[in-house]
Structure 1
Amino acid sequence: METSPTQTWSQRFETALHPAIAIFNASIGFDIELIEYDLTGSQAHAKMLAKSGIISPEEGEQLVNGLEQIRQEYRQGQFQPGIEDEDVHFAVERRLTQLVGDVGKKLHTARSRNDQVGTDTRLYLRAQIEAIQQQLKAFQRALLTLAEAHVETLIPGYTHLQRAQPLSLAHHLLAYVEMSQRDWERLSDVSRRVNISPLGCGALAGTTFPIDRHYSADLLGFERVYSNSLDGVSDRDFAIEFACAASLIMVHLSRLSEEIILWASEEFGFVTLNDSCSTGSSIMPQKKNPDVPELVRGKAGRVFGHLQALLVIMKGLPLAYNKDLQEDKEALFDSVKTVKGCLEAMTILLQEGINFRPNRLIQAVNEDFSNATDVADYLAAKGVPFREAYNLVGKVVKTSLAAGKLLRELTLEEWQEIHPAFEEDIYEAIAPRQVVAARNSFGGTGFEQVQRALQVARNLLDEQ
């Protein structure tokens, strides 16, 4: 059935839509994104209709071939639907009827746009999840490559954005590998609920035709079918779950972005930015701006907003399908586009956009009191109760700050005035490299643990 702003839907309607309402109602401007998936789903539906005897095998073949021709026309830019088609589904059906005649009008037998769009959206999202997972792996590999080059490079570790304890830079980078791994696994979990077929649920109540829903689901690679037709056409939990997973990906990218922005500042000076991944100022010629991480940090808000939008769309909808659900697509499409773009940009930034400055980093870990905990640990290892040792070291830091000294600058006599347990080996115990190396507990920043973690991460990526 063709529709346009100048036509009525059926004999039920006496007049056509107002032209402005037709434009307002149309989704072709954005749901054209689904055309390849609509064609694939329609081909499976046509094959199922033929297998079930609802149409003849010859008609099924005509439909499948006609749909494939539309695919090629679209890819070559020869098929470009407009507002008169309202949505991608009608656009395909109109063109199919032009190609194969009245047989094209049989394609919609035993199907509603409600289960059709649900099928298309799931096929689209399933493919996008796979693509994003591949990007996550590339991002993780970029982090690993950088980490392998900086196992013994030291960097200040922070809590409350205050100097806390020195770390292996590789350990710091591996934290983002862990976050990204959770993102990958989360998407795999979401994909299980994306991969359920609503095709055959009809408008809301199923169909009177003897269809084979499991056959069409198998053709499309779905793991199972919805067992309740009402739920099948109205469920958008999978889209919300994806938006949540996408939001967490953006949280992690944004956290790394914020650190890179700080590290690139004059105040930190931990990294320099390469020209290929930074821009300048229109008025201050000395500046080199971290545009990539700043944009990623900003774009996180877009994805968070889409999650909120999807939740609000769904929260008050009675069963089954409602036109509100048309609004899920722009949120979903933009979330996918934004996450993919940010992952690509951040991967390039890690691969060729930043250079760490080891000399500045070692200077940074040598100029603070982040080894204070190791002094307390030193005393505890010699039998002093830890809380007593903790309080003693707090006093040492206080008096050292007042005297303008670092802990490594105290004389042995000054150490022994604090507590007789101090010996010459205190200086080795509080050296930054030893402070890092000593933290060899499982999952810690000790160099042995970092090497182990690198190998585990490499093996995991190779297996996935």
Structure 2
Amino acid sequence: MWKGRFSQPTSQLVQSYGESVSFDWRLFAHDIRGSIAHSKGLVKAGIITADEQAQIEKGLLTIQHEIETGNFEWKESLEDVHMNIEAELTKRIGPAGAKLHTARSRNDQVATDVRLYTRDAVDAVVMLIQSLQRALVEASERSGGAVVPGYTHLQRGQPVLFAHHLLAYVEMLSRDIARLQDARKRIDVMPLGSGALAGSTIILDREYVAKELGFAAVTQNSMDAVSDRDFATEVLFAIALCGVHLSRLSEDVILWCSAEFGFITLSDAHTTGSSLMPQKKNPDVAELTRGKSGRLVGNLMAMLTLLKGLPMTYNRDMQEDKEPLFDSLDTIKAALAVFAEMIAGMEVNETRTRAATSDPMLLATDLADYLVNHGVPFRSAHEVIGKLVAHSISEKVAFADIPLAKYQEFSPAFEADLFACLNLETALAARKGIGAPSPQNVAAQIARWKEALS
């Protein structure tokens, strides 16, 4: 492609091996936006005329329209999105197009394009996370007073409102948003004007160009500017962790809709059948999402591995940054959208949840708390209730059916009022500390999230 230095044409194998236009074409709108801003900077610096800038802008917008309507021919021989657009522009408008690349390199150009693309994509992902949060809050409200066992080690622990369980994921997702928004601050710095690595002797007003592109600041070191992909790595980390959160929610959904749990029913629109077993209703959306989380983690590892051994500044290895970034953004967007839709169609089977929470052992901790409130040290209370649990299991008698006299054999601190704490509603209402799942607290949290997400 480059005629000046080379006497032989590039091998066809090398062209095919090195091209990136097959995937970086999707940067076209951001590349064109960057080029238009750059052309305005060239006018301000007296490098091109206003008329030439108008030709450049009109030509670029025409090319953008053709790309958007599928009428643009991408050429592998031109390697990437940048050269395809610039070559076509120059072919159409002549010398003005050939002046566009003054005072910039593909190194600072691609760094700018990827930042512009990623900034827009992060905003879109945040909106999709908020949509899933809204779906979870609405599902929490629909679940009413449904109570489920809270689990540790996948063993029944204590009773919680189903809504409280769903709202835990709303909290997780809020941290994902915070991480993405924080990463966005470091995306929002413009590298354009850094040249290949050492800027240019042709001085442009970088702050002016940055303002045209909506960047909050400009980079301060040209070598760092063209080689920095920290912003993309941060975004990949935030996406990977969001994927892990979706995977955990997926696992809960898969368990909940199994015959063994039966806590929820997913709509027919979000499940699939079996090619052999006609009775099956499979939670494929949740399973696929659980699987795709591994892909998101893999893309993060690919980026970290790509960058770890690179010297300053730009190296061709960095062409490999785009596919994992694009793939993770596409994957998380699709997962968030379909998950929000699935949660919106989910129904809670309160009969099954109530049956699961009829397990009297769920209130063992409440009995220990009762003893603590009657002056027994917690460790002693824990030991007493452990022995009481053993008695209940060996005698096959529920806590509520053990007579007071028997309770008092385990501890004289037990009194007749102990039976009040063996009531599920009473036990839940007593969990009124900040962050605990009393109905009053959960209702307040639902109201808080509805307002925050409105």
The C-alpha deviation readout for 1:406-428, integer Å capped at 9, x for no partner, is 22232333223333333333222
Partner of 1:295: 288
Worse-matched range after superposition: 74-83 or 192-201? 74-83
Q: Write the mapping of 1:59-98 to structure 2, written as runs, cut at 5 A.
A: 59-98=52-91
Partner of 1:147: 140
In the alignment, does 2:387 pair up with 1:395?
yes
Worse-matched range after superposition: 446-455 or 153-162? 446-455
Q: Of residues 19, 23, 26 in structure 2, which corresponds to 1:26?
A: 19
Q: Write the mapping of 1:409-420 to structure 2, written as runs, cut at 5 A.
A: 409-420=401-412
| 2:434 partner amino acid | F
Distance 2:397 2:78 in 1: 77
Worse-matched range after superposition: 96-105 or 249-258? 96-105
Q: Of residues 99, 110, 119 in structure 1, which corresponds to 2:112?
A: 119
Distance 2:360 2:274 in 1: 33
Count of aligned pairs = 454
Q: Of residues 4, 7, 10 in structure 2, which corresponds to 1:11?
A: 4
State the shift of 1:329 in Å.
0.2
Partner of 1:107: 100
Partner of 1:53: 46
State the shift of 1:368 in Å.
4.5
Q: Of residues 205, 208, 224 in structure 2, which corresponds to 1:215?
A: 208
In the alignment, does 2:184 pair up with 1:197?
no
| 1:269 partner amino acid | G
Partner of 1:6: none
Partner of 1:408: 400
Partner of 2:330: 337
% same residue: 46
Q: Of residues 124, 129, 151 in structure 2, which corresponds to 1:131?
A: 124
Partner of 1:371: 363
Distance 2:72 2:181 in 1: 35
State the shift of 1:170 in Å.
1.1
**Is the 1:154–1:433 contact (alpha carbons within 8 Å) kept by the matching residues of 2?**
no
The C-alpha deviation readout for 1:10-54, integer Å capped at 9, x for no partner, is 221010111111100100000001011001000100111011111
Distance 1:203 1:48 in 2: 18
State the shift of 1:430 in Å.
1.6
Partner of 1:253: 246
Partner of 1:431: 423
The C-alpha deviation readout for 1:240-282, integer Å capped at 9, x for no partner, is 0000000111011000000000111111111122210000111
State the shift of 1:151 in Å.
4.5
**Is the 1:151–1:171 contact (alpha carbons within 8 Å) kept by the matching residues of 2?**
no
Q: Of residues 12, 26, 32 in structure 2, which corresponds to 1:39?
A: 32
Unaligned runs of 5+ in 1: 4-8
**Is the 1:47–1:64 contact (alpha carbons within 8 Å) kept by the matching residues of 2?**
no
In the alignment, does 2:168 pair up with 1:168?
no
Unaligned runs of 5+ in 2: none
The C-alpha deviation readout for 1:381-425, integer Å capped at 9, x for no partner, is 122222222111100101111112222232333223333333333
CA RMSD of aligned residues (A): 1.2
| 1:251 partner amino acid | V
**Is the 1:47–1:60 contact (alpha carbons within 8 Å) kept by the matching residues of 2?**
yes
| 1:154 partner amino acid | V
Distance 2:22 2:343 in 1: 36
Distance 1:102 1:162 in 2: 73
